[in-house]
A and B are shown apart, each in its own frame.
Chain A
Amino acid sequence: NAGVMQNPRHLVRRRGQEARLRCSPMKGHSHVYWYRQLPEEGLKFMVYLQKENIIDESGMPKERFSAEFPKEGPSILRIQQVVRGDSAAYFCASSPGAQNSNQPQHFGDGTRLSIL
C-alpha cells in the first residue's frame, strides 16, 4: 500500500535554474494538492488539481510557478528562475474524494528545495 510518493527528497538548485518536483498520489486518488512549508511554520496551500484540470490555484505565486497533473504520470510542480526565497519544503497530498465530499488529505514526505 504505497502512500503519496514525492521525488526527489532533496533538490539543490542555483539561482536562476529551474526546479521540477514530482508527486505520485496514492492508488485510487485522483485529487492532488501542493503545499509549501517554511521552517517552524505551518503548511501553506498552493494549488489543487484533478487529472488535467487546475481546480484552485489561489495560493500559487503569480509568476515563475506552475503545476500540472497530466492524464498519465505524476503531478509536477515547476519553479522557473528560482530565487533564494523559494527554499522550503514542498509537500504533496492526495485524496480520493468527489467534489464537496470532505476526505482527509494524505501527505507525502516532501521535497526539500535548497537554493544556492
Chain B
Amino acid sequence: GESVGLHLPTLSVQEGDNSIINCAYSNSASDYFIWYKQESGKGPQFIIDIRSNMDKRQGQRVTVLLNKTVKHLSLQIAATQPGDSAVYFCAENAGGTSYGKLTFGQGTILTVHP
C-alpha cells in the first residue's frame, strides 16, 4: 500500500505487507528529517532520522528515503505488524537560526489488519 501524504492521510494494509508512507516538505533549506510514530494518548516516538547529505537510511524493519530534488520523504515499513498501527509524522528542521524548531507534517494514519 502507498500513501500520498497530505491528500490521503489514511493507509490500510494487511499484516505482513510492506507499507510506504509519503511526506512532501516545503522548505528547501531543511537539512534534517525525522519520522515519528504516535499512538493514541501518547507522545511521538522517534523511529528514524536522516540528514540531507544522505538519500537513504535503514533501521530495523524501516527505511527512510530522501529525494531533495522534489522535496519528498518516505518511510518504508517491512512486514507490517498490528503493533505498527499508529499515526506517522514526518518532521523537518531547517537548521541555522531555526535550529531546534521541528516542523511537522499533517500525519498519516496507518491501520494494520491481522
Flag whether A69 is at the interface (Cβ < 8 A).
Answer: no
Proximity string of chain A (19-58) to chain B, C-beta cutoff 8 Å, 1 when within and 0 when not? 0000000000001010100001111110010000001101
On whether the beta carbons of A104 and B34 are closer than 8 Å, the reply is yes
Q: Which residues of B contact A93 (CB under 8 A)?
A: 43-44
Complex CA gap A49/B73 in Å reads: 28
On whether the beta carbons of A99 and B99 are closer than 8 Å, the reply is yes
Complex CA gap A4/B103 in Å reads: 20
Complex CA gap A63/B96 in Å reads: 27
Least Cβ distance of A107 to chain B in Å?
A: 4
Within A68-116, which residues are at the interface with B (CB < 8 Å)?
Answer: 91, 93, 99-100, 102, 104-110
On whether the beta carbons of A58 and B101 are closer than 8 Å, the reply is yes
Least Cβ distance of A99 to chain B in Å?
A: 7
Give the size category of B's interface with A. 20 to 34
On whether the beta carbons of A33 and B100 are closer than 8 Å, the reply is yes
Complex CA gap A33/B103 in Å reads: 12
Flag whether B7 is at the interface (Cβ < 8 A).
Answer: no
20 examples of A-B residue contacts, CB within 8 angstroms: A4-B43, A6-B43, A33-B100, A42-B89, A42-B105, A45-B102, A45-B103, A48-B101, A56-B98, A56-B100, A93-B43, A93-B44, A102-B49, A104-B46, A105-B46, A105-B102, A106-B46, A107-B44, A108-B43, A110-B43
